[in-house]
Amino acid sequence: MCDIRYKVLWVDDLTGTQDEIFATGFESVADEKGIDLIPFTNWEEAELELKKNFRSYSAIILDANCKYGKNDSKTDEFFIPSVVSSLARMFGEKRQTIPWYILSAGTMSKFDDIVQIAQRDHAAHQEEWGNLVYLKDAMDNSQNSVDVMFTNIVKVAKKQNANIIAFNFKDVFKYLGEGKLICKEARTIMMDMLCAFYYPADNWQFKYEGNPLRKVMEYIFRAAYNYGLLPLECFERDNQLNLLESNRYMSGLETKHSGLRYGSEGDTIFPKSIGNITLQILNFSNVDSHTNEEHPYTIDDKDLVISENEKELYFSYVLQLCHVIKYFGAFIDSHPDKESNKGMKKVVAVPTSTNNTLTNSPVGQRDLVQMGETGPYILNCRLAPCFEKYVGSYAIITEINPNNGKDADAYPYYAKVKIEK
């Protein structure tokens, strides 16, 4: 099993039985080499994918005679020159290149002329990238064989910035990406920030924004919710996540708005060292995002730039965030059962005296109306279903009565409230 896998864009309009047989064996050899092939039958669609996920790809493999447009009825003999021109523009815009190769049967007319044109652009990278042309029917391990091409791609990919980052931080990135613990958007953000730190000359356009830090923190909290480690009460209206409340819960502290905590005294998801890091990250990026204790919700994507004078502090948080991801992933590995995790949610009860008169009564307290798993609530008091339309609004508790329902452990009281206009 390879420590790291490489993503390669493959453009070839496979047609006919022979092509299908080749494709099966081709993909099998690629898999053995640690390569994930992403196939396209035309350049129009392949180009869109490449522009969208440029940093994800380690190499590009092109058929010499292929369709350029997705609606083209036949192949284009000038496919390679057109694609090479497109790649040159893209590389200029990105200020970064991706190794590209031609894989063909070599039987088309003007094949040698096409290769000669492509070689002009490829020659500048020949020493780093290796041969330009490989043949589908070449003998294994011959100079232009598929096996040698894949070996060369892996060799070159290991030296690419993003792949070096992915390898050196493999204990972090194994939890990030499509179908993994934390979503692919978080992987992209972390890769961009780490590349900017380790390879500043290649990422001179990088902006020092706080939002990416906050977004990764939110993706971590949403992953925690998916595994039952974060209660629904940490979400506000429109599926917005209260980040500070989430951090308190996962740090083993009582949440301020819902009176919940993870487990009993001493139980925690984030130990103190991790909880301090995550809180500092939120505070640092909150300044950038113009949020505060009263409105600690998910924000929009406004590009509010941090001063470059703070870049050392910024990147220190990026590296600390790597440690948080690695710790959180390991915690999930040892706590994979969602229902067991959900059972750790505890209500911090309001103290009562021996004659059942309330001390620290919630009556008179002002707080947000929120939506829980069993309906609307405020603090640790259930509300009638009709108050669902007021979720996100502030209200004052005017009266409470015992809750004898199934959710009494979580909400010991029913409350009457006055909604603030």
Residue 180 has pLDDT above 80, yes or no: yes
**Distance separating alpha carbons of residues 139 and 134, to the nearest angstrom:** 11
Confidence band of 331 (pLDDT split at 50, 70, 90):
very high
Residue 317 has pLDDT above 50, yes or no: yes
pLDDT at 330: 97
pLDDT at 40: 95
Residue 324 has pLDDT above 70, yes or no: yes
Confidence band of 7 (pLDDT split at 50, 70, 90):
very high
Confidence band of 349 (pLDDT split at 50, 70, 90):
low
Question: 33 Cβ partners below 8 Å, 6+ apart?
Answer: 2, 150, 151, 153, 154
Residue 227 has pLDDT above 70, yes or no: yes
Residue 342 has pLDDT above 90, yes or no: yes
> What's the average model confidence in pLDDT over 61-90?
91
Residue 279, SS3 per DSSP: helix
pLDDT at 121: 85
**Distance separating alpha carbons of residues 165 and 161, to the nearest angstrom:** 6
Residue 231, SS3 per DSSP: coil
Least confident of 10-19, 88-97, 198-207, 296-305: 296-305
Confidence band of 30 (pLDDT split at 50, 70, 90):
very high
178 in Cβ contact with 249 (< 8 Å): no
Residue 357 has pLDDT above 50, yes or no: no
3-state secondary structure 378-421: ECCEECCHHHHHHCCCEEEEEEEEECCCCCCCCCCEEEEEEECC
List b or e across 311-344, with b for residues whose CB sees 16 or more CB atoms inside 10 angstroms. Answer: eeebbebbebbbebbbbbbebbeeeeeeeebbeb
pLDDT at 18: 61
Confidence band of 41 (pLDDT split at 50, 70, 90):
very high
Q: In the chain, what percentage of residues exceed pLDDT 90?
A: 43
Q: Is the pTM of this model over 0.85?
A: no
Structure tokens given for 311? 């870049």
pLDDT at 293: 35
Classify strands 57-62 and 6-11 as parallel, antiparallel or unpaired: parallel
Residue 295 has pLDDT above 80, yes or no: no
347 in Cβ contact with 412 (< 8 Å): yes
In the sheet that holds 370-372, the strands lie side by side as 366-368, 394-402, 413-419, 381-382, 375-378, 370-372
CA 81-82-87 angle, 5° bins: 95
pLDDT at 206: 83
**Distance separating alpha carbons of residues 113 and 243, to the nearest angstrom:** 60
Structure tokens given for 308? 């470059």
Averaged pLDDT score across all residues of the chain: 85
Confidence band of 228 (pLDDT split at 50, 70, 90):
very high
DSSP 8-state class, residue 209: B
**Which segment, 158-172, 192-206, 317-331, 353-367, is predicted with the most confidence on average?**
317-331
> What's the average model confidence in pLDDT over 230-243?
85
**pLDDT tens digits for 247-260?**
999 999 998 878 89
Question: 232 Cβ partners below 8 Å, 6+ apart?
Answer: 225, 371, 372, 373
Helices (H), 227-262: 243-250
pLDDT at 136: 86
**Distance separating alpha carbons of residues 80 and 115, to the nearest angstrom:** 8
**pLDDT tens digits for 211-220?**
899 999 999 9
pLDDT at 2: 57
CA dihedral over 187, 192, 193, 194, signed as positive or negative: positive
**Distance separating alpha carbons of residues 362 and 399, to the nearest angstrom:** 9
**Distance separating alpha carbons of residues 411 and 158, to the nearest angstrom:** 55
Confidence band of 3 (pLDDT split at 50, 70, 90):
low
**pLDDT tens digits for 141-152?**
788 889 999 999
CA dihedral defined by 287, 288, 290, 292, rounded to 10 degrees? Answer: -30
CA dihedral defined by 415, 339, 271, 220, rounded to 10 degrees? Answer: -90
